[in-house]
A and B are shown apart, each in its own frame.
Chain A
Amino acid sequence: MYRMITHKRRNIIKMVGFLTVMWILGGYILYPTLKTIGMSFTGKQGFTLLFYKQFFVIKGNVEALGNTLVLGFSTVIVCGIIGTALAFYVSYFNFPFKDFTYKLLLTPLMLPGIIIVIAFIQLYGESGMITKTIEILFGLDRVPYVFSGFWGIIFVHAYTQYVYFFMNVSVAIKHIDYSVIEAAKNLGASKLKIFTTIIIPFITPAIIASSIITFMTGIGSFTAPSLIGDHYKVLTTQILLAKANNYMEMAAVQVILLMIVSIVFLEVFRYYEKKTHFTSSVNGVGIKPIDIENKWLRTLFMMLSTILVLFIILPVLTILILSFVKSGTWMIEIYPKEFSLDNYMKIFVKSRAFAPFMSSINMSILASLLGAFVAVPCSYIIVKTKCKFKFIVEVLAMLPWTMPASAIAINMINAFNKPTIFSFKGILVGTYIILPLAYFVKILPLILRTTSISLYNLSDTYDEASKSLGASWMYTFRRITLPIIMPGIMAGILLGFIRCVGEYTTSVYLYNVWNKPISMAMVNALFEYEIGLAMAYGVLIILLTAIVSSVITRLVNIGRIQL
């Protein structure tokens, strides 16, 4: 009898937990998406296709759709070439400061897009320092290039997203078993043959996986198109335009088309990913990098590395230097002359300037914790149970991955500009919580991935061993499962934090007086010509992400997870 009761109680706990998770997934991911879909089909007289027709009538929309696709593929191609080339460069050759270069090459991943765009404007923009320097050096009377429009966006994308290719291909090259290459040589294969029949197949899955991420980021990119896009229209900027004109039905149609593009190409890429995937047999010896004997070649490589390093740290350096520029002292000169700690003082002394900094930190913590709170049970259900609904849980939790940030923002607006049961009868738009909720939706797939990896790595026998020693399910979860996967959870939380702390896109749509984040403060400062202040905010975000990423690296080592 006693056993029956405890068994029942255990089931009730599980049930309540499951329903809570489903409530959150349903309320903040599914419901808002459905709301947007519904809105796109609902006119004054009920169901209509009018807004879809309108989409194709209004000038610029079709162009934006085409541009979005072009931008997506161009991003993949450009980043693919740069990232893969760099991966081969670092994996195949030995050169001085190689480890340092490798780590440095990974940094753009940790920098929020908004900071990079702003730094690039300061460097390569019309009155940017590099642009002006070139003008003076060569005595030009016009700007030598135009850092805006399609090429400007591609330039930013190349800088921010080659890292995916670089990282994944480097790992794939590391996993090429050198004995396979030796076997091929032994069988008489030429260098070209080895490259096409061994190396290419080995790195293809990595290239496709990276293509997926860069394509999705490319078509969903908003920061670069909105700040330097100029006349180059893409869907994300059209969505903001529609929203600004309060034409929410059109915004809904645009969001849905963007999501369709995203899901269709995701599935296409995934099809090829599965087709090319294979697991190599044994962990053999990796490829040994070659020392370059030729003196001239070595110098060339050195120069190449130096240029690379400079190019990568230049934006960060720019932000750092400009953060010390005294406001109002740098208007007409090319280079700033007066420096002070004023900007930092302003942030830490003036509560109005400090608020965005704290607000971003608070909202990021909130979103990441909520993310972990939902991701842990979800990944447990997906990885460790045979629950009938696990398919639904997985689809819902991963759904935001196919949603560009603009789509998430529009969905949230459509869902919570009226009272709902999910908002406990309140209107969330215009309140503090709306932005952290959107952040949470945005980072859930990321956290879910890390917690799932930890759980995959967790052998079922720990669970069984605990049970055979008399521990209940709850006790086992608390004392065994949770502590072992804790590094993975923490890494997930911190990764989520990094993604939120400089977030720009959803912030543009959802921020208000209660929760103005640091990214908005930066952009506002920029428009008010307080460049130094904007940069000081940037430095603070970079510092924060740098500290957090070093903690993540440590946690990843402890938890032995591969991210």
Chain B
Amino acid sequence: MVKLVLRDISKKFEDTTAVDYVDFSIDEGSFFTFLGPSGCGKTTLLRMIAGFIKPDTGRILLRNKDITHIPSENREIGMVFQNYALFPHLNVYENIAYGLKIKRITKKEIGNKVEKYLNLVRLEGYENRKITELSGGEQQRVALARSLVVEPKVLLLDEPLSNLDAKLRDKMRIEIRDLQKELGITTIFVTHDQTEALTMSDKIAVFNKGKCIQIGTPREIYAAPTNTFVATFVGETNLFEAEIIDDEAKLNNGIMMDIKKSSTGSYLSIRPQDIKISKEFKNMRNTFKGKVEKIQFNGVVVEYIVDVVRTKFKVSALNNIYIDTEINVGDEVSILIHKNTINVLNNA
């Protein structure tokens, strides 16, 4: 079921186009991520959905109702801010109860609801704590509880994990996703971190320069990027300019590669882990001789830079019992690329 529709939304700030005719919809109950580098327009779009900024063009529909001109306080859209924006003069209980007090419900009901959501975010007994007495992770949870307790139709999360340290971020990632599933609330998550996007989302919209350039499930985005920007922004890749002739591609250095039939575009994208590296040389299609220029070890994987006729290929292999430890810098090696793993793309 379609819940939130963004139709031809655009926004300019003076001369810069922040959001450039964005048009897509978000399913009810899904965890939807806006992914892109800073300045790509994802936060502006989120703030337009929240009602803090008015779009120049387009409409926003929530459950078939046009909310474009409804003030933010009447939209029933909750938001968790990057810096949490917890009210410093109120304690944990008062922060969470803030939105409920506006709704004119009984004190007892407010108490029950606050308790329920405090339990949900696992902060039982924190009612009377001051905001300044909380750790970053605890503040994050209070912010979540505060926006969820009013039972909004949509929850917006604006880079909520960026202020946490790496370990806590991993933990909160799982916590937020579990909470979202449990409550079934439609959630829009803004991030520039591809790992967050890939691990948490039902769907991802990738943004660049104000445009939404690809929407898909994490797997689709990763495995089948539709242009060079997505291929390089989401995950690591080898990107080569190439001339496509039927089911073959000719790289700038002259080497020919088999590719999938009826591919169109002018770039090839090959993920480093899709390339097999070996000291043996078998005379096969898509097998090339090269020389190891660099080896980088980072624990889980080993990365090799292999020079094939002046073109560098990044190759990565899992560091496990099967890895060929005999490969050293300067060695002659062969690399094998399966044609199904080669994505032919257009420039973006």
Contacts and interface: CB of A to CB of B under 8 A. Distances in A.
B72 A462 contact: no
A462 B85 CA distance: 5
Contact of B81 (A7, A465, A479): A465
B146 to A, nearest CB: 7
Contact size range, A: 20 to 34
B102 A480 contact: no
Contact of B79 (A459, A465, A471, A472): A465
Contacts of A459: 83, 85
A469 B98 contact: yes
A471 B83 contact: no
A561 B135 CA distance: 24
B76 interface: yes
A468 B50 CA distance: 7
A484 interface: yes
B23 to A, nearest CB: 24
Given A468-B78, A469-B78, A469-B147, A461 B72 contact: no
Given A3-B74, A475-B102, A468 B87 contact: no
Contact of B83 (A461, A470, A472, A479): A461
A462 B87 contact: yes
A472 B52 contact: no
A484 B73 contact: no
Interface string B152-190: 100010000000000000000000000000000000000
Interface in B20-71: 50-52, 70-71
Contacts of A479: 98
A396 to B, nearest CB: 28
A327 interface: no
Contacts of A471: 73, 98-99, 102
A3 to B, nearest CB: 7
A465 B102 contact: no
B88 interface: yes
Most A CB within 10 A of own CB, among B81, B85, B146: B85
B87 A480 contact: yes
Interface string A446-482: 0000000000000101101111111111010001100
A483 interface: yes
Contacts of A467: 51-52, 71-73
B89 interface: yes
Interface residues of B, number: 30
B150 A470 contact: yes
Contact of B52 (A3, A7, A462, A464): A464
B43 to A, nearest CB: 12
A276 to B, nearest CB: 29
B75 to A, nearest CB: 8
A555 to B, nearest CB: 14
A467 B85 CA distance: 12
A483 B79 contact: no
B50 A464 contact: yes
A468 B103 CA distance: 13
Given A475-B102, A484-B88, A484-B89, A468 B77 contact: yes
Given A470-B102, A471-B98, A464 B73 contact: no
Given A468-B73, A470-B76, A470-B99, 5 more contacts: A468-B72, A470-B102, A470-B150, A484-B87, A484-B89
12 contacts: A461-B85, A465-B86, A465-B146, A467-B71, A468-B72, A468-B147, A468-B156, A469-B99, A471-B73, A473-B73, A483-B89, A484-B89
